[in-house]
Amino acid sequence: MNALVVHEVGLRDGLQMEKQVVPTEQKIRWIEALCASGVDVVQVGSFVHPEKVPQMADTDRLFAHFAAPGRKPAGVSLSGLVLNEKGLERGLACGVEMFCMGVSASETHSRKNTGMPIADANARIVAMAKRALAEGKRIQVSVQSAFGCGYEGRVPKDRVVEIVKTFVDAGLPALSLADTAGHATPDDVEELYGRVRALDPGVEWTCHFHDTYGLALANCYAARRAGVTVFEASVAGLGGCPFTKVAGGNTCTEDLVHALQRTGVRTDIRLGALLEVAGEVASFLGHELPGRIHRTGPIAEPAAAH
């Protein structure tokens, strides 16, 4: 695995906000293209009730398709989001490699998202993560609304640290802070990651930012300075949580990769392939998407001197 990991979440966190349901065959083509681009992890979908989120109704079918030999590059992992035990059982049955799950640091968001208070959701998610690890699966457990809530405003940092401590005490190896409402600032990011990383320096840390107020890329750079190594992003900037008050797109994958490559980082990722997918997604959905580089084009690097 590369020192800096890109986890593409557009086909889950992005499409869940779209009214138009994308056919399974189209999703398969996009997943194939994203896998071939050189990103490290592609999130295929979430195991939610199909009537509540019809865009995710084919998640089991997609995982079963890619579980067949030779249908994805060996160096790419496929992840899926689960909210409860039933979702975990479905994921185990169809071949999910990496399970993502989380607990909100906002009581209001937790009840809207899961129907449970924080304490109940926390105990449930920790047990699910341990079950997935026992089954030989990779996991990532996040604290959602870690930097603020559209309903409650500021979320106390001490509350976030307390939740993370329960994850660390349970021996969970891969954790994330998610800026569900897009309230984070770079200073908040460095401070909070500094505090949680001090609990266990061996944990692999992920960041998940929304660009609701225009700070997603700046927050990614702050997270990188704070020691975060895994970055979740969404092709074309698709996305937003349907259970937050003001939904905004995710960190845009091709914008993030373009910025990193200008500093010589992750030059192995095929930016052109990501831009092609972003253009196709925007064309298919029929409206402008928030990502920038798929519209402006990348900055051309000067030819090497001979």
3-state secondary structure of 44: strand
pLDDT exceeding 90 applies to what percent of the chain?
Answer: 79
Whether 265 is covered by a domain: the verdict is yes
Whether 303 is covered by a domain: the verdict is no
91: pLDDT strictly greater than 70: yes
Q: Report the CATH number at residue 253.
A: 3.20.20.70
Hey, what are 224's tokens? 């990188």
pLDDT at 2: 53
Whether 86 is covered by a domain: the verdict is yes
User: How many distinct structural domains can be found in the chain?
Assistant: 1
Q: How confident is the model at residue 248 (pLDDT cuts 50, 70, 90)?
A: low
Residue 21: which domain range?
Answer: 5-296
**pLDDT one-digit tens code per residue, 212-229:** 999 999 999 999 999 999
The CA distance from 219 to 198, in Å, is 19
**pLDDT one-digit tens code per residue, 160-206:** 999 999 999 999 999 999 999 999 999 999 999 999 999 999 999 99
The CA distance from 265 to 272, in Å, is 16
pLDDT at 239: 76
Q: Which active-site residues does the annotation give?
A: 241
**Chain-wide mean pLDDT for the chain?**
92
Question: Which amino acid, 221?
Answer: Y
What is the mean predicted confidence (pLDDT) over 37-46?
97
230: pLDDT strictly greater than 90: yes
Whether 302 is covered by a domain: the verdict is no
Nearest partner of 153 among 180, 176, 183, judged by Cα: 183
- The strand pair at 5-8 and 98-104 is best described as unpaired
Whether 304 is covered by a domain: the verdict is no
Whether 232 is covered by a domain: the verdict is yes
240: pLDDT strictly greater than 80: no
Whether 283 is covered by a domain: the verdict is yes
pLDDT at 224: 97
pLDDT at 302: 59
Whether 30 is covered by a domain: the verdict is yes
pTM of the model: 0.94
